[in-house]
Structure 1
């Protein structure tokens, strides 16, 4: 499973855990649902966000990290394969966008924890 699919899954899980809002009346999640979200879903999402962020920011030996992609792009340019280097550069831009999404997801998790789980 690639990183973009995992990132989408993480955001989807967070949205499912937060509940849905009605256009007319805001819904309040039941205490049981809030408790389950705080104890089960939030830690899982936090772990996935951390794992993805660590992987993207990993070393040149970490498969799929920004440094790994940069190294592969440099090798492709050195070998004269500019098309491959361009594809890798595009992947590098996607990694930057994914880091932004993961950061926003972390903020949303923190807000949810503060509001519903009593976390500081």
Structure 2
């Protein structure tokens, strides 16, 4: 699952349970739905955020990790393919941005969990 889907899932999760901070009335849902979100969706989002973070921070052997991309860019430069190296460098910058998004998503899920799930689940 990609970063955008996780962001959308987290946003939807938070909209269902937390309401809005604006002048609009908060959205309320039944305790049964909150329990279902806490027991099914929150753990799934947490595991996906962790898996993506682990993958991005993985070793040079982990496909798609920052170190893997750095190695591929170095190999491309060594072989004289600077265009490919530039593309990989841009991809590396995206990975850093994705880590920021994942961190924010994790914070939002943790906040939702502590406010609506009792914090210990």
- TM-score of the aligned structures, taking structure 1 as reference length: 0.91
Which stretches of structure 1, 4 residues or more, deviate above 6 A after TM superposition?
none
Partner of 1:96: 96
Once the two structures are superposed, the pairs formed by residues 60-99 of structure 1 within 5 Å of their partners are 60-99=60-99
Partner of 1:44: 44
Name stretches of at least 5 consecutive residues in structure 1 with no aligned partner.
none
1:46-91 residue CA offsets vs partner (Å, 9 max, x unmatched): 0000000000000000000000000000000011111000000000
Partner of 1:7: 3
SS at match of 2:2: helix
**Deviation, structure 1 residue 23:** 5.1
Looking at structure 2, the residues matched to 16 and 98 of structure 1 have their Cα atoms a distance apart, in angstroms, of 19
| Alignment root-mean-square deviation, CA | 1.5
**Deviation, structure 1 residue 28:** 2.0
Partner of 1:32: 32
Looking at structure 2, the residues matched to 8 and 38 of structure 1 have their Cα atoms a distance apart, in angstroms, of 21
SS at match of 2:43: helix
Partner of 1:16: 12
Name stretches of at least 5 consecutive residues in structure 2 with no aligned partner.
none
Q: 2:49 matched to 1:53?
A: no
